[in-house]
Chains A and B, each alone.
Chain A
Amino acid sequence: MDMLWPVELVGDGLRNLVRHKLRTALTMLGVLCGVAAVIAMLAIGEGAQRTVLQEISALGLRNVILTSVQPPDGAAEAPSPRHGLQMFRYGLTEADVNMIRGVCPSSKLSVAHLVKDKVYAHGKRVDAQVLGVDAAYFQLFSTRLLRGRLLSTLDESQRHQVVVVSRRVDADLRRSGVVDDGFIRIGWQHFRLVGVVDLKIPGGDRFIFMPYHVARSRFGTTTVQSEAGSIKSTRTEVGQVVIQVATEREVPGTAMLVERILETHHKVSDVSLSVPLDLLRSKQHTQRILSLVLVSIAAISLLVGGIGIMNIMLAIVTERIPEIGLRRALGARRRDIMIQFMIETVTLSSVGGILGCIVGAAAVPIASHWLEWRGIVTAQSIILALVVSWVVGVVFGLAPAARAARMDPVTALRHE
């Protein structure tokens, strides 16, 4: 008895919209642009999110990485004048490593030796950080082998003088004429290039890796360098410690313990602590805020589209005043009139929304290709955009529909 047939009303609504094609098209354009903008902004946000995730998870989300760094000048431990040369000590010590091993016994630990000697390729300086690492080191990071091979346990036991380099260093070496299986000089030692890798570890992207024991035995912990006329020697016992815990949940606790150890035993900041998981969290947070801002801007255009719809619906209601009066005379309740115009508005905005989704989803891959940013259209963003366009119809249809429903039937019938 009280039933209306919404499907029929949607049909009527569509027919009315088709009758005024240009007007409908222009009105829809507002919602279409708004929805397409929302889709595009969500796609940019999603793309950026994934890029961040990919970049940082390459550092190993279960890793806590400690790296010895040279403290700012003058802040180093008081030099002990011995035989006239100055000795600076900085960075991680064997004692630190033992303590860390003590507080997280179930974690995998990998120790890297820092080689401070300069690197030369055919006599030309190469800018790179040299680390002595064990064979397991590469497994702690998502390492991609680009060419050649990784360091092996055999290299370790046989004390092979071989190196594996990162991609950036490889490019420099090639420019200097060093090819695969060619030689480079580190300090006064010669090393054969056996592999090129792509991996992310804190501290940049120029790395040379050699077997751990080769580094320890050939270079030791003390380096003597002559700089600007004065001779300076520095001592760093341990270059880098990578702690890999069993699950991501253990990361914050481990990081806190390690930080406490460092705080008590290092007066100056000569160790940098890197927690990829924290980094990811904070970057994702920034990303999310950025996405929110982008989407809010897009939402403004949707708002403008909604106002356009409301404007047109008010005009349509005015145009159809006699029809409203007539429908009331034929037994339509206020509610029926309200529903009729609501459905018409929602139909208008939904069709605009659907077209907007199509345009947005089609534009994102094209724009990604030309502008070289990464945009990803997700199913959720499509659903969200459709729901929003629907809500726009409801919100902005309310006033015109209420106006139609409130109209006095006799006044409406007498309307010229």
Chain B
Amino acid sequence: MIQLEHITKTYPVGDGLTVLNDACLTVDDGEYVGILGPSGSGKSTMLHIMGLLDRPTSGRLIFNNREVNALDDRELSMLRGRLVGFVFQSFHLVPQLSVSENVELPLFYQGVPRSQRRERARKALAQVGMSSRMRHVPSQLSGGERQRTAIARALVTEPALVLADEPTGNLDSRTGGDIVELLNALHAEGRTIVMITHDREIAATLPRVVQIRDGKLEEG
């Protein structure tokens, strides 16, 4: 699914802040990988690179058997929209759109007609148990409901890869447990999942865990 080859990411602050330094990682199709690391270690940075949102300073990224370094904005956007589903720590819902419209958004950019979008959003929301909240706007939802909406949005495109950046970070442990259940179910469907977490308990349940230390990735 994804291969990171000697990825370096340097931010141009001061003399240059190197967050990722010669990081290598291979994630196979259908894998479920947890990423651990202290705050500020570059976990989110790595996830953004994997999801084609950010470009590495150097190194090669193979995404779905394609070398993506050379692709332009249009092609990256298309790949991202079709193959990647993001779930963010702080939900990132569009406040003026309803739950259903938020979930439809990635389909909109794929050019799916409205009626189909409605239908697929309805199904995705049913999958996360949010059918009764379709007409609400995000400010009318609880934290757990927001995150479930965000997960519905990530899976509505049926992406091959789901990237979750601390999806439980803003939730209490019970609600967090529900979210992990949902991700587990997605994995059971055969999707590749990469999840950043601070929670060692959750990490312990994952089949594979990678640690970031000094900009490098270590298994276990």
Please report A residues at the B interface, Cβ cutoff 8 Å: 1-5, 8, 12, 15-16, 19, 322-323, 325-336, 409-410, 413
Which residues from chain A contact B110 at a C-beta distance below 8 Å? 1, 331
Q: Are A331 and B81 in contact (CB under 8 A)?
A: yes
B71 at the interface (CB under 8 A from A): no
Q: Are A329 and B80 in contact (CB under 8 A)?
A: yes
Cα A230 to Cα B105 in complex, Å, equals 102
B153 at the interface (CB under 8 A from A): yes
B114 at the interface (CB under 8 A from A): yes
Which residues from chain A contact B51 at a C-beta distance below 8 Å? 329
The chain A residue sitting closest to B156, CB to CB, is A330
Q: Are A5 and B114 in contact (CB under 8 A)?
A: yes
Cα A413 to Cα B90 in complex, Å, equals 10
Map CB proximity to A onto B93-135 as digits: 1 under 8 Å, 0 otherwise. 0111100000001101111001000000000000000000000
Cα A18 to Cα B92 in complex, Å, equals 22
28 interchain pairs (CB within 8 A)? Answer: A4-B108, A8-B108, A15-B96, A323-B94, A325-B92, A326-B92, A326-B94, A327-B94, A327-B105, A328-B53, A329-B51, A330-B81, A330-B86, A330-B105, A330-B106, A330-B109, A331-B78, A331-B81, A331-B106, A331-B109, A331-B110, A332-B77, A332-B81, A334-B73, A334-B77, A335-B74, A336-B77, A413-B53
- The 9 A-B pairs with the shortest beta carbon distances in the complex, nearest first, are A331-B81, A330-B106, A331-B109, A333-B77, A326-B92, A410-B54, A3-B111, A332-B109, A409-B53
B213 at the interface (CB under 8 A from A): no
B82 at the interface (CB under 8 A from A): yes
Which residues from chain A contact B32 at a C-beta distance below 8 Å? none
Q: Are A333 and B73 in contact (CB under 8 A)?
A: yes
Which residues from chain A contact B48 at a C-beta distance below 8 Å? 410, 413
Cα A322 to Cα B74 in complex, Å, equals 20
Q: Are A410 and B111 in contact (CB under 8 A)?
A: no
Cα A107 to Cα B94 in complex, Å, equals 79
Cα A179 to Cα B220 in complex, Å, equals 121
Query: Measured between C-beta atoms, what is the minimum distance from B143 to chain A in Å?
Result: 17
Q: Are B53 and A329 in contact (CB under 8 A)?
A: yes
Query: Measured between C-beta atoms, what is the minimum distance from B57 to chain A in Å?
Result: 13
Query: Measured between C-beta atoms, what is the minimum distance from B102 to chain A in Å?
Result: 9
Cα A5 to Cα B81 in complex, Å, equals 17
Q: Are A322 and B92 in contact (CB under 8 A)?
A: yes
Which residues from chain A contact B95 at a C-beta distance below 8 Å? 323
The chain B residue sitting closest to A3, CB to CB, is B111
Which residues from chain B contact A3 at a C-beta distance below 8 Å? 111
Which residues from chain A contact B86 at a C-beta distance below 8 Å? 329-330
Which residues from chain B contact A323 at a C-beta distance below 8 Å? 94-95
Which residues from chain A contact B153 at a C-beta distance below 8 Å? 330
Cα A81 to Cα B88 in complex, Å, equals 115
Cα A329 to Cα B77 in complex, Å, equals 8
Q: Are B96 and A16 in contact (CB under 8 A)?
A: yes
Which residues from chain A contact B114 at a C-beta distance below 8 Å? 5, 8
Q: Are A333 and B92 in contact (CB under 8 A)?
A: no
Which residues from chain A contact B53 at a C-beta distance below 8 Å? 328-329, 409-410, 413
Query: Measured between C-beta atoms, what is the minimum distance from B180 to chain A in Å?
Result: 22
Which residues from chain A contact B82 at a C-beta distance below 8 Å? 331
Q: Apart from A5-B108, A334-B73, what 19 extra A-B contacts exist at CB < 8 Å?
A: A1-B110, A1-B111, A3-B111, A5-B114, A15-B96, A326-B94, A327-B105, A328-B53, A329-B80, A330-B80, A330-B105, A330-B106, A330-B153, A331-B157, A333-B73, A333-B77, A334-B77, A413-B53, A413-B88
The chain B residue sitting closest to A1, CB to CB, is B111
Cα A2 to Cα B114 in complex, Å, equals 15
Cα A322 to Cα B77 in complex, Å, equals 17
Cα A323 to Cα B97 in complex, Å, equals 11
The chain A residue sitting closest to B88, CB to CB, is A413
Cα A328 to Cα B92 in complex, Å, equals 12
Query: Measured between C-beta atoms, what is the minimum distance from B99 to chain A in Å?
Result: 15
Which residues from chain B contact A1 at a C-beta distance below 8 Å? 110-111
Known: A323-B94, A413-B53. A331 touches B80 (CB 8 A): yes
Cα A333 to Cα B78 in complex, Å, equals 8
B73, B77, B97 interface centre (most CB from chain A within 10 Å)? B77
Query: Measured between C-beta atoms, what is the minimum distance from A6 to chain B in Å?
Result: 12
Which residues from chain A contact B109 at a C-beta distance below 8 Å? 327, 330-333, 336
Cα A104 to Cα B116 in complex, Å, equals 80
Which residues from chain B contact A333 at a C-beta distance below 8 Å? 73-74, 77-78, 109
Cα A323 to Cα B81 in complex, Å, equals 15
Cα A334 to Cα B53 in complex, Å, equals 12
The chain B residue sitting closest to A409, CB to CB, is B53
Contacting A at CB under 8 A, from B26-83, are: 48, 51, 53-54, 73-74, 77-78, 80-82
Which residues from chain B contact A8 at a C-beta distance below 8 Å? 108, 114
Which residues from chain A contact B105 at a C-beta distance below 8 Å? 327, 330
Cα A12 to Cα B92 in complex, Å, equals 18
Cα A326 to Cα B94 in complex, Å, equals 8
Query: Measured between C-beta atoms, what is the minimum distance from A366 to chain B in Å?
Result: 39
